[in-house]
Amino acid sequence: MAQDERAGGSPPARVGGSAEKGAATATGHGRASRLPSLTGLRFAAALLVFLNHVGLPFPHSRLLESDSAAMNLFDVTGNAGALGVTFFFVLSGFVLTWSARERDSAPRFWRRRIVKIYPNYAVTWLLAMVLFASAYTSTGTAVANLFAVHMWSTDFAVYSSVNQPSWSLGCEIFFYACFPLLHNLFQRIPTAHLKYWIASVTAGAMATPAVAYAWITDWPLFPGAALDAPVSSEQYWFANFFPATRILDFVLGMLVAHAVIRKRWFNIGMLWSGLLLAGSYVLCSYVPFLYSQRSITVIPMCLFIAAAAIADIQGKRSVFRNRVMIWLGEISFAFYLIHFIVLAYLRKEIDGFFSVPETVGLVTFALVVSVLASWAMYTLLERPITRRFSSPRSAVTVQKGELSTPVTKS
């Protein structure tokens, strides 16, 4: 998924006025810091989504022949995709706030975002339609998916259509539409009041499943819902897919970025926040389904993202800052969009189910193909289009083949 303006790209800026002059200059050396660990972490999050799709136990997607092995795998990976998406939504708000450009305009911001995400989105939509989705997708659903508005439907067959991860990009587009207004609003929050805003938005995100359970019918069940934990398509949509509720994750990322920028964030470090995040993931297996999708992990996720950013600012060690992880992070948006197509087409082309060693081999093959395809898409499509069209030609200066202005490169 696209984040940006760039995880560690241009320094944070304050567009417009502020209730506190000090908020604009509170970051000191942090304003000039890049955040490469957040780039590296993006591939780790995309890999969680990949593993979630690998572990789906449905007959049309599973590879393992043993029912017990398939369910054991799903027990481990069942909430991985939700964790990855929560990461991307919180990260998106964080890095867009961190790298907001001074005196930027909303149209320029929207242009950069659309140039960044839509070419990859359109190409993967076409691939999915050609390779498998056209066989069971109506014209209306396909068109809604192409224009990234399908997640506004409460119908599971619509909001999970064509290329399954695409719903989150539709949410991101909604977030981007709201960002300029939210950014100007949050700059005016007095620093002393930030903690109240963060607490309120966190409470709203965590309470969304309670609203879904209390106010939305739990029938008919969405495909794959367990009978002992009934969840309807509409409940699942409201708590997990509805852009107007998922924007709380994005807003939380924005507010946490402000707290880090203004040096009002209580940092527990990457080790402890990582352990807390891992523990919350385990806890997800023991709570009602909708709570497992974001409520349990959202606080540890904020702590972890902020800790990674602060580690980069302070020059501390980070396993996500090496060249390999940064490269994987750069191609992670393409990987996020293309991996499901690789898995779905592989399942379509091979018959039967497989032993554990055979399944490991097939999954490894799918992962390698997905990474190579993502690299090609990033190199041949995403990066050239972003560099060429992210800014109006009159505003771009080319030096040694690179843009001299900050480049959107999520």
DSSP code per residue over 194-260: HHHHHHHHHHHHHHHHHHHHHHS---SBPTT--TTS--BHHHHIIIII-HHHHHHHHHHHHHHHHHH
Query: 20 near 307, Cβ under 8 Å?
Result: no
Query: 154 near 234, Cβ under 8 Å?
Result: yes
Q: Angle formed by the axes of helices 269-283 and 298-314, to 10°?
A: 160
Beta-carbon contacts of residue 224 (< 8 Å; ≥ 6 apart):
56, 58
Query: 49 near 80, Cβ under 8 Å?
Result: yes
Q: How far apart are CA 319 and CA 97, in angstroms?
A: 24
Beta-carbon contacts of residue 43 (< 8 Å; ≥ 6 apart):
325, 328, 329, 331, 332, 335
**Structural element, H or E, at residue 356:** helix 356-377
| Tens digits of pLDDT across the chain (410 residues) | 666 555 544 333 433 333 333 333 333 334 445 799 999 999 999 999 999 999 998 888 899 999 999 999 999 999 999 999 999 999 999 999 999 988 889 999 999 999 999 999 999 999 999 999 999 999 999 999 999 999 999 999 999 999 999 999 999 999 999 999 999 999 999 999 999 999 999 999 999 999 999 999 988 888 877 655 789 999 999 999 999 999 999 999 999 999 999 999 999 999 999 999 999 999 999 999 999 999 999 999 999 999 999 999 999 989 999 999 999 999 999 999 999 999 999 999 999 999 999 999 999 999 999 999 999 999 999 999 999 988 776 444 443 333 333 333 33
Q: Note the helical H segments in 99-193.
A: 106-131, 139-146, 156-159, 166-187
Beta-carbon contacts of residue 379 (< 8 Å; ≥ 6 apart):
none
Beta-carbon contacts of residue 188 (< 8 Å; ≥ 6 apart):
17, 18, 19
Query: 372 near 93, Cβ under 8 Å?
Result: no
12 DSSP assignment: P
* Upstream peptide bond of 220 is cis (omega within 30 degrees of 0): yes
**Residue in the structure block whose two tokens are 């977030």:** 175
pTM score of the predicted model: 0.90
Structural domain spans, the chain: 21-385
Q: How far apart are CA 261 and CA 374, in angstroms?
A: 33
